[in-house]
Chains A and B, each alone.
Chain A
């Protein structure tokens, strides 16, 4: 018992302080306000957790402070929005994307090809760059001419804001399907495939480690899949678009979550393999790179989706209204799918304040199981401490690095798409969330997974309670003064808490001593 107390001292003190804080908060407000604020805190905490946990996994294992993490969270939100509001754009993008990926899917074939070619030294130096240049030129020629039906940020009637508004109100704007006019279809398809193969071959030539490759049909499975996806996207373009438009909003939302998360995973893997990996021995450059990536990402989002803010429609499952709403209990809610439910007489928004924390909980438990119960998790936990030793055991740590980076970015993108229907989409959503996540990690412990969860919930709670007190005011004891925290105190309060925690516990609440 005593050793339990000593071991979990910090945790117990943290729980005690939280309990004291919540009890104090409960005294000063109505029951329904308290419950709603608590749930909102959990919701904000859950989204923060999705970003913070990925960030902390990446930092713990790879020692990379990924400052682009917030931007990737934002990109997840925008990608999800595109699937829900403009599925036709998403379908149009499928073919060129699959074609560009297909060349890289050949992987092991290139070293074999390279070993067959005998080249002089100067040619060997020039060839990779030459191939990459040709590939970029080809892409630069074809991609701008490739027909993709998309919104127009310059024209309000055709802007994402209008499309989002119409989709939210249930009616959709008619869209013009794109057609091959500036370039012929076979030329575009063959050109993209060629560009992809040349580029992938060029990049593979940089790796000079001798390898023995045996070719089998397995080497060609991935390219076959990519080509099939490309062809299906091309031939059945109209049918696919029509099918997606005919789906109800729940399915569309589900696909959006899937697409955003998987895109995050792919983007993360690509980013680690191409940009982060060459810089492991130069951490400062890595930091500058991720900072630059963040800025580039934000500008890209501005260029594609425009600057104004808009919302992602909520799935119908959480968006019912009418006579029976708000629901009074969960059975009632299940029958009507009301957007709100009465809990202690307070109106709670089901999507924002119940669904999001639930997803946060599911992710928390899934990742916990991954870390504690699987071999991959074991390798990650060991690698956080000493990745060189893990490599010396004969484990390909670099591959695990890529996986963890991909997983972390995938989690951020999931956070983005989940948060989009509740907080809306804006160009700055990533930066402010990354700041929250960093504060949460500093409070919880930078490389501690439970610390990321605890810190995120604390940050979410404090912010929401301060916002609530800004509305109702706090009666200062023994005086008649009612103090109303102003909005700037919302971020300031979490920073203050972070400073206090770090002064007492330099490693955060659950962080380990380095």
Chain B
């Protein structure tokens, strides 16, 4: 299958710290790929390196056949990559509607996608005029994902969507991610293995800044020893 994104042996430094020391990720078009690993393994940095927010010093990031490492973040994002960061990064001085509108890349993006977004997250329609701060954690997460859906993104980078959410809300979040994955490819960083294994088709395990294993999710789910070794989960 054609890969929409290929991360080839990237090395990323933050300050003087060598955070990523050789990460490889292949993302087939139309799939959900989960980046797994313990806290501090470099999963979030991998997402940020793809987007150029922490530009890799070595290695290549190839999106849709074009090398994007070295370009500025907004140029990379404009090629069709949406980012849902850890802790959501909702703009608190902007209303829910403005939080969506700001993500427009072409005029009218928001109006076009409105219906799709509100069928996915019916709650947001009710909250449209409220400021970003008055939302609950789950609502903020929905807004953050919705924001990434406003422009025509081919690839979504979603960082820890289930973090700090109640089980019921995680359930509806997963439904939403499955739904939006029909339209675009998704890279998911997820601590909760149960969530990741139910959503993703492929996985990459990152350990101490290196990608150490990858493959099909259903193979990993069957391999209890590997899960325990890499993720510390039972």
Contact = CB atoms under 8 A, between A and B. Distances in A.
B102 A397 contact: no
Most chain-A Cβ atoms within 10 A of its Cβ — which of B78, B85, B102?
B102
B94 A209 contact: no
A309 interface: no
B171 interface: no
A398 B85 CA distance: 21
Interface stretch (B21-29, B69-77, B178-186): B69-77
B51 interface: yes
A378 interface: yes
A144 interface: no
B203 interface: no
Specify the main secondary structure of chain A where it touches its partner. helix
A170 interface: no
B92 interface: yes
Contact of A382 (B73, B78, B85, B94): B94
B129 to A, nearest CB: 14
B123 interface: no
A384 B70 CA distance: 25
A382 B77 contact: no
A381 interface: yes
A375 B101 CA distance: 9
Contacts of A391: 53, 72-74, 77
A389 interface: yes
Contacts of B85: 389, 392
Contacts of A209: 70-72
A472 interface: no
Interface of B: 51, 53, 70-74, 77-78, 83, 85, 89, 91-94, 98, 101-103, 105, 147, 151
Nearest to A385: B91
Interface string A192-214: 00000000000000000110000
Interface in A367-400: 375, 378-379, 381-382, 384-386, 388-398
Nearest to A399: B74
Contacts of B83: 389, 392-393
Contacts of A397: 74
A381 B94 contact: yes
A450 B18 CA distance: 44
A158 to B, nearest CB: 52
A398 B70 CA distance: 16
Nearest to B89: A389
A393 B53 contact: no
Nearest to B78: A394
A393 B103 contact: yes
Contacts of A382: 91, 93-94, 102
Contacts of B92: 385
Interface in A168-225: 209-210
A240 to B, nearest CB: 41
Contact of B93 (A375, A384, A396): A384
A392 B94 contact: no
Given A382-B94, A388-B53, 6 more contacts: A378-B98, A385-B92, A386-B91, A391-B53, A395-B74, A395-B102
A209 B83 CA distance: 23
A388 B83 CA distance: 11
A391 B81 CA distance: 12
A398 B78 CA distance: 15
Contacts of A389: 83, 85, 89, 91
27 contacts: A209-B71, A209-B72, A375-B102, A378-B98, A378-B101, A378-B102, A381-B91, A381-B94, A384-B93, A385-B91, A389-B83, A389-B85, A389-B89, A390-B102, A391-B72, A391-B77, A392-B73, A392-B83, A393-B74, A393-B83, A393-B147, A394-B74, A394-B78, A394-B105, A394-B151, A395-B74, A398-B72
Given A209-B71, A381-B94, A392 B53 contact: yes
A395 B103 CA distance: 8
B102 A393 contact: yes
A382 B104 CA distance: 14
B77 A394 contact: yes
Contacts of B105: 394
A210 to B, nearest CB: 7
Closest 10 CB pairs of A and B: A394-B77, A394-B78, A382-B91, A389-B89, A392-B83, A391-B73, A381-B93, A396-B74, A391-B74, A393-B103
Contacts of A395: 74, 102
Contacts of A210: 70
Most chain-B Cβ atoms within 10 A of its Cβ — which of A210, A385, A391, A392?
A392
